[in-house]
Structure 1
Amino acid sequence: MTVSCRASYESTWSELLPRLLPFLSTTHSTTEHIPSIASTDKARNTASMDVDKTSFYPLLLDILTDISDAAFVTIDLELSGIPTKDPAAGKPTLQQRYLETKEAAERYQILQIGITCVEQDASSGKYVLKPYNFDLSPVINERGLDVERIFSYQSGAAEFLLKVGFDMGRPFTHGVPYLSRAESKTAREKFVKRNDRGAVADIAIKPTEVESLAFLARVRSQVDEWVASTSMKTPEYLNIVPFDSDNVSNEQKQEELSRFEKRLVHQIVRAEYPELTTISRRGMIQVIKFDQEREDRIAEGRKRDLEERIARQKGFRWIIDAMHGGNITSLDLRECARDSVTGEYIFVNMDDMKGQFHRAQALLRNNPKVLVGHNCFLDLVYIYRTFIGTLPDTVEEFQRKLHKLWPVIVDTKYMSTHNCGDISPASSLEQIAEQLSAFQTPGVEVDPQHSKYTDLAAFHEAGYDSFLTAQVAVRLSAKLEREGAYVDDDAHGAELKDGMAAVKLTEKALDHQSAANGSKANEQQVNGQADGTDSLREANGFTPSVPGHKWKRTGEPTLEAAPEGDFFEYDPTDRKPRGQSIGTTIPGGMPRFGSDFWRVYGNKLRVFGTQEGVCLFGLANPLLGFVSAAAGSAPVSPPPPSISAVISLGSVASSDFETTICASLSATILVQLLLVL
């Protein structure tokens, strides 16, 4: 077997030859076709984590590891087109805006996607950022999948991308492949259909089609003669090739069977000779005797080949699956054992590689990451359409499906414009990041191997924008936590400062609020019990997000979050962020995911320009039932919630309720429910 590999410079032939001899003399399993010797470090671009189709699989294992270690992951997209709004139509509802976005997502293409993995380094008390930038290819490189894509470019979007220096050809020449769940399903269905000979419709030959009838007669004659032959010299196969005619000149003689003639050969053998089968060859059809064992072996080989093609074309969807806690066990690690520059196979330590993969897989499985974006309603619709499948027709169904994938989604746009009133404040990603850049606490640093954006401001590059989003998420949430800015509902008419976001990002505001309650909130975070309720009580209920603004309570009182380890803690389908993202906090840093802070700021996407202004996920108040996506519409009737959903506001909310509770605990549950009500 041939092994394409490259040894490190320290290796000598005397050391290398004994390792290669087994591969020259014996046959090894294909799963171990790469020798397990001292590894050569895979090339990683220390200045830029721009990932293309060549470096994707060589870097994929490291990317999965970074995702598994991350407290949360930020995203950003660059698109070939966006929804077109009709200014004369007035303010649309959220459902109308969703349908506009759905139509655009079905028409346009994700050209670039950026992610930033954010780790909490408790030892240094800092957040470590690891940004990646991916160009995404709309082209399906793997042949034989029988999947086609139709997409388009919007002239305005193309003009904008060219203006900011985007290379429009790069996604086609260097883009990372991908295959959605729906496309994978289509490829498998078409494969089954192609290989189901009984599903092939017969061609009806009319009596007037003399040439076709003559062709069938000649094929039948050849097959009968071959089957009846008893000569030892008769081959075990019969090749049906074009018939020569005495009336045809050499220039007009047919060298290959036409597709129509091939179908006729397949058809006549299938219908009249059940003991025989046909195989397509170049320019001809080969007839052989039917062997069930051989046919099963061939079918299994074809299926295995299809799955390998799907896995290679799957590309970026490995990352999407990892981020929502999906199954990535079928990843072929042999594809990862390549050089990131040349794409050629290299020597790796397969045991180390498997160990790294199994660790990442264990951390990721059924553990969806907290997903963070800025103004990300549109991004999430495109991501669902591109990597998951067909978008549902209603925004409510989209909310349910997306919430099932990612139980916790944070929109920094919503965080920065919370209680902004009827006027949409200036809250671009660049503006917010600039305001927050003056804050030194909590500490944010960039991993040395991801240092491209340290000294380079690449606005409107997806990787850079996800990098800015990560900084904003860390600093803004920490600032709001220190200020105790827990405003439960969007209060219209809030004062705006200089046209900026409702939460004015100034040192004065920070000092004023942190002196009152910041130290205690941080102390609670260190103990892993930060839920925001104590600081809220000290602040006489809630603190306005704009210092000095007089806020009128309109919602229900905040219930205390359930303590960690509570037997009744609500855990929908056992899919909640866990590990580092739940139990670890940095003093003065982000509130712990699962705390009451994220009940206020989590699972709410800002959708300016709509009547509702916000898209909600999960429950806003378990006592009131499901939150309808459109304000004013009738709420969806849910199944009866468990007591854990009532007493645990700190838990991740979901539309899937546990309805079965141990009978022996029914009395205790009833007492707690009565106390809550």
Structure 2
Amino acid sequence: MLQRRFLCTIVSGNHQKPRRQWPIRQVNRSNFSEALQHIKAHIRDCDFVAVSLQKTGSYSAPWHRVLPLDTAEIAYFKAKFAAERFQILQFAVCPFSVRASKVVAHPYNFHLFPRDELKIGLPSYSFSCQSSYLSSMARQGFDFNACIYDGISYLSREQESASRERIGSPVRRKCETQPSSDLSVADSIFVERIKARVRNWRNAFKDSSSRAEDPLINSLRKLVIGNEEYGSRPCLTITVCSERQVQLVVEMLREFYDDLVPLSVPAKGGGTQAIQVVLTSSKEDRLLFEMELQNREEEQSKRVRGFREVIDLISTCQKPVVSHNSLNDFAFIHAKFLSSLPSSMEEFRRSLCPAFPNILDVGHLMKEMGPLKKVTNLPAAISYLKRRFFAPVDVEISHQADAGDSKIHGHNVLKITELFAKLCSILKINPETLQHDYDNFPSALESSSNIFNPCSSSSPDPIDVDVSVWTNNTRKVDTNNLVFLWGFRDGMSAGMLKRRLSNSHVVFSDEFDVRLVDKSCAVVVFWNPGLSSSFLDAVESGGLNCEPLREMISEGLQATGYQAYRRACELGLWEANLADSLDKALEDTDILSGTGSQESLNIYWNDELIISLDDL
């Protein structure tokens, strides 16, 4: 069969040809099986896999975004909340290889929609949508009707396991057991009783099959001996009360009969409720039957897994995965396709590592270039590199995508691929050396591998607590020197609040800074240790002997330390205003009594907002 082959070459350098439309293969439920075979070969033969997600949202309020003042743990709490609240509608995957300045890429964009294929309430159907995200997708020509009706469904590994326990496998599983220990008296009685029953059933059926009988008599005989049918083959159901009895039945059948195939009937609450014994007519018929079972089981598993087949392919190949904003993306990937997100960043790393041992974030890789200003998204990052460096990249796309499709989605995954190849060229990294040795990364890639905090320093250490932004004037800040303020007048800017604080207490005679986290709450950073605790004591005392501060407190000013902010994120107090979340966090007596975590952490403070490559 002659296959169409489209070739699209993009030269990325200081002198570039006009960019042609990228032929990205759009995959939905109708062509998923065909695309799965192609991408399986591409993942097997590639060196890297780039991924990019299009979600229904990322944050519900301004302070829910990852901020410069967030430690790695708090950044994880925010990513966890977003992954559990929003949904993935598009998942772009691009297996690619880099050879010098040439990139061979195979981009696919999968349209997803969580659908209850098994009619058991999995996956959850409650998710939020952020209007700005949906508006952006609509401007790109995204077809929401096609997504809902023809999007590919999926179950996570955890959900698949739960579904099998809840309804059992529609295809009865072939029993596999280990040899049992010595039989007790009760075991021997049970085995002999079942053996006699199976023998009588088998003999009666074979006798009735070998001689001509009146159809009515034959039917009555089958009714008396308890005969059923599994497809076109006769079967007998044996009820069991424990896994021990399952083991005994299977061993007995294998020891005395070559033409009987035992199948377990799973109980809804887990375990096995019965054994179905299927009678085959010959050795060849038994092999055929077992092959039929295997094929049906595989088809059912594919239907249950859905798009997770692609995730499993990427995970099985164990090749480096390239992304941007990896914390947010892989929190979604873990929650939707692996299992529920764990409660801490360290547990998240441990859970994710077996499935994806090497995750490379282009955002952290760009930090190897030195501090960057005003690089807020992928196009800006690529444009910056083009202006500063001569590093031409030839991107070749070759597959069966329809290049004439006017509604092309998933283009970000190719921008990630292009940016990664350009960074490798500038940093003198030869990706070809990684083809068979992913354990020995070049230092630049190693320092950017498995970093999940967008603000963090480039360190793969899971206990790393530093965060940073990409500017020239970062300053290291101890979280004990941060104080959150709320209850000030509406409409007050950071500058206005700073001027008023300057005259309110002696602690503000030294250097300090003020920034608004959202319209309801501000954060004050004291550059000299000890001043934050003195200020908190003064607020708690009601501004005693300090008239200006007492006046602000009477107007409703409240203050708390960093631990209350961390507690609000840890407990999932995601109110629209940070002030409301801090109020609820302070209701917990652990904060006031000091029984909560008081670990001192460091962050890198800066006047500018955090840089986010996902902020297109």
TM-score when scaled to structure 2? 0.50
Between the two structures, name the one with larger relative contact order (CA 8 Å, sep ≥ 6). 2
